[in-house]
Chain A
């Protein structure tokens, strides 16, 4: 039995419309944010919302003038990149040993690591704050890097573990038989075959660290403040400034969106590459 061309193209239309609809619903807040960023404060609170207006850049100028955007942006770049690299350096060997020389307790350790993510962050706030204070690390990038790395490690180990699991063990053994030491094995076999996994794990953790607000606000809001703290500072006791808040938010997420856009290709490439056996 064959379905007529009419009914299959009808299905296609319904699917296309549904896909666009879902995409628009997901994208709408972002669009609204972007539009609001170019309004004056007065236009921003107008009800119903204005969609036709003369765009202005004054919010962006003011955000930079009032709170030195570049300073926060630099902090965001440093903390997220360094914590991601550090996390990969720690997680990759851990995932390697768990995937290729598992013991009876490997699954338990993985579950335990994941379970730490189930605890609300605020549960660890007091001890970590006290430690940071005692060590004189409050409001330093170093403290944020350590905390971001720690909080992302369970996810990194899990992701890399499942990626490494897909690499047949015998390929690594074959390289050992071919005379590869641990470093050769890593460089010539594990790295190229696990590149997709390493890239997607790294990217995800970069985004998580970039967007992290809880620890950034609590451990470093001035000198070490990230863009998340910059955004938060616009909902202040002076009241809500929607247009400036939107401009600051847009500036905060813009770099990571641009980065994600460009790395998408690499990411997809990396993923299909890893899938080829």
Chain B
């Protein structure tokens, strides 16, 4: 049985239906990441699980218990906020022990738990400081420490890294992954950063307009996206999607998608597609070549340096096995007619 289960969960703001009947089952110990564009409802959904937003329909079950209408304080969940939300008038130690003190845990036990967590997070020498005397990264670690000392049923993270600079973000991401491996705690993590989603998640939940588009492991989403939206949302640069008119028509296929790394630049008279190079982005470890096909633009990713020039006529080659096919509604056609490899 699922540890945390959302059954047809709904949220209304006045007449606006913000969360539209979400169903999701999360297993114990799983690391789940909610991703989606801004305004897709990922943070709202997390806050509904936290009890910070009321649930207007459906049911929320935790460990076999209905917690749909339980107040946050009784749900036994811990949350790490984007803004850290540390108590400014308390020291690091007081911040981390606050929940345990409220729960009337014995002082010796509190001390032990806090010092253990502080050690794990490299905070031991900062325990007496107040949050304002800490750097952004340290504050974030205190916020995480405050969550882990409690050993809650589920950890909730609301875009916890978005206030950190790029270097620190990478480092903290690795630390969070390590912590999860050590603690094995059930975790729900909201982000709009797909690198975080791909690297941290056991399963990723892609949301759009208050609905789940697809749930799956990071590579499942990458290799077998359920629809055009997921196909283009996961992966940077995004998947090239072309009208099927450029390919021999097959069944109810409406559009065809292919990832940039599955395309190769070849001589002007070779390959299945023809076009002109419009832009070359040399990033060092990879090169992104934008090719104008006349009716559409595609991006080709290659890991070698290129000798191609801007404005050069080139051919683009691909292995038809890597094509993704979508119907008129954007749904992926997974075992439909194989598309012939040759371009028109």
A→B interface (CB under 8 Å): 168, 170-171, 173-181, 184, 188-189, 192-193, 273, 276-277
Contacts and interface: CB of A to CB of B under 8 A. Distances in A.
Give chain B's interface residue range (CB within 8 Å of chain A): 20 to 34
B311 to A, nearest CB: 52
Nearest to B94: A188
Contact of A174 (B76, B81, B102): B81
A179 B132 contact: no
Contacts of A177: 50, 52, 72-73, 77-79, 156
A174 to B, nearest CB: 4
B102 A178 contact: yes
Contact of B81 (A170, A276, A277): A170
Contacts of B52: 173, 176-177
B102 A179 contact: yes
Given A178-B102, A179-B102, A173 B85 contact: yes
B87 A277 contact: no
Contact of B73 (A176, A188, A273, A277): A176
Nearest to A104: B14
B51 interface: yes
A176 B99 CA distance: 9
B336 to A, nearest CB: 47
B19 to A, nearest CB: 18
A47 B71 CA distance: 74
A177 B79 CA distance: 7
Contact of B102 (A184, A273, A277): A184
Contact of A178 (B71, B89, B132, B146): B146
B73 A181 contact: yes
A122 B17 CA distance: 51
A273 B52 CA distance: 28
A61 to B, nearest CB: 50
Contact of A168 (B71, B83, B89, B102): B83
A180 B52 CA distance: 13
Given A168-B83, A277-B132, A179 B51 contact: no
B190 to A, nearest CB: 14
Tell which of B72, B79, B99, B146 has the most Cβ of chain A within 10 Å. B72
B89 A192 contact: yes
21 contacts: A168-B85, A170-B81, A170-B85, A171-B85, A173-B72, A174-B81, A174-B87, A174-B146, A176-B52, A176-B73, A178-B73, A178-B99, A179-B73, A179-B102, A180-B102, A184-B102, A193-B88, A273-B89, A276-B89, A276-B132, A277-B132
Nearest to A173: B52
B203 interface: no
Contacts of A168: 83, 85
A126 B132 CA distance: 55
Contacts of A170: 81, 83, 85
Tell which of A171, A174, A176 has the most Cβ of chain B within 10 Å. A174
A174 B88 contact: no
A188 B78 contact: no
A114 B197 CA distance: 50
Nearest to A184: B102
A173 B83 CA distance: 12
A14 B103 CA distance: 60
A175 B50 CA distance: 12
B98 interface: yes
Given A180-B73, A276-B132, A175 B87 contact: yes
Nearest to B132: A276
A189 B87 contact: yes
B150 interface: yes
A171 B87 contact: yes
Given A176-B73, A276-B89, 9 more contacts: A173-B50, A176-B52, A178-B146, A179-B76, A181-B71, A184-B73, A188-B98, A276-B132, A277-B132
A177 B103 CA distance: 12
A277 B103 contact: no
A174 B73 contact: no
Given A173-B72, A276-B132, A277-B132, A179 B85 contact: no
Contacts of B89: 192-193, 273, 276
Interface in B63-78: 71-74, 76-78
A188 B71 CA distance: 18
B79 A174 contact: yes
A277 B88 CA distance: 6
A180 B86 CA distance: 14
Interface in B89-148: 89, 98-99, 102-103, 132, 146
A141 B86 CA distance: 45
Given A192-B89, A193-B89, A175 B98 contact: yes
Nearest to A172: B85
Contacts of A179: 73-74, 76, 99, 102-103
A178 B150 contact: yes
Contacts of A173: 50, 52, 72, 79, 81, 85
Nearest to B146: A178
A177 B156 CA distance: 10
Nearest to B99: A178
